[in-house]
Amino acid sequence: MSTDAGKTPDGLVIVDKPSGFTSHDVVAKMRGIARTRRVGHAGTLDPMATGVLVLGVEKATKLLGHLALTEKEYLGTIRLGQNSLTDDAEGEITSSTDATGVTREAVDAGVAKLTGEILQVPSKVSAIKIKGVRSYKRARDGEDFEIPARPVTISSFQVYDMRQAVAEDGTEVVDLVVSVVCSSGTYIRALARDLGADLGVGGHLTALRRTRVGPYKLDRARTLDQLQEELTVMPIGEAAAAAFPRWDLDGRRASLLANGVRIDMPEEYGDGRTVAVFGPQGRLLGLVESKNGKAKSLAVFV
């Protein structure tokens, strides 16, 4: 839905983030466009990366923590033959190795090891907190520290193209065009680093575009310039119904739920699953999860 002057509507704005902007930069820009302070984002994108960044406006900021946990999809380019300080093109190159001897078979075997449920050590130059301090700050201060590995799920890791190239320092490298479907919290640049390490030549990410966050795809995304011209907001009910199973209630049960009564939930939703609840006239009431068959409120919108 496009908006006119007046009250900023509650809903999601799907932004096609430009390279060079932090996620916080995009939020700051959107606060000006939407004329409200109540703007947040679900899932950070590194400055180098482009593509889908989901913003919540007004009441829809309550959706963001739940949306951030959904599956993501990316297109990227991995350069084999060079390591970088940040595991991507933003950082200085720390080592170079001729990668022309790397075969497609070896790449496929390396990719297979990084597919499925894996343990991943996030990049040191990242926003993860180690004992209360951001990892990137510790790295920039020259500290020697370790980040614990954590479980992530790589549902799909595909190589579409493999081509030789010459890096700026003259090293003969190999560039891979890849797509990745993964769980929240996965670092694609760490995948590039780990694939390069497995192949013995080093690797880093040179380009990344996020094409999907949960159900929200690039075809719904708008650039900041387009949004400046016309603010396009996905209504909060539509956004919730796209991301979560839908449960419609009659007026009586909707009223009970709105007043904090833990009503029975149908078995089909299962324990621990986030469900969007709608009342009469299709109005979004909130998000709930089933706990021992009863509806437990996660976020309320009425």
Q: Which residues are catalytic?
A: 46
- Please give the Cα distance from 277 to 266 (Å, whole number): 12
Cα separation, 139 vs 121, whole angstroms:
15
CA 45/CA 208 separation, integer angstroms: 10
Contacts within 8 Å (CB) and 24+ apart, 280-287 = 280/249, 280/250, 280/251, 280/254, 282/237, 282/248, 283/237, 284/236, 284/237, 284/240, 285/249, 285/254, 285/257, 285/258, 286/257, 287/62, 287/63, 287/66, 287/240, 287/244
Q: Both tokens of residue 32? A: 């000006």
119-140 burial, b for 16+ CB within 10 Å, e for fewer? ebebbbbbebebeeeebeebbe
Name 133's Cβ contacts closer than 8 Å, sequence gap at least 6.
none
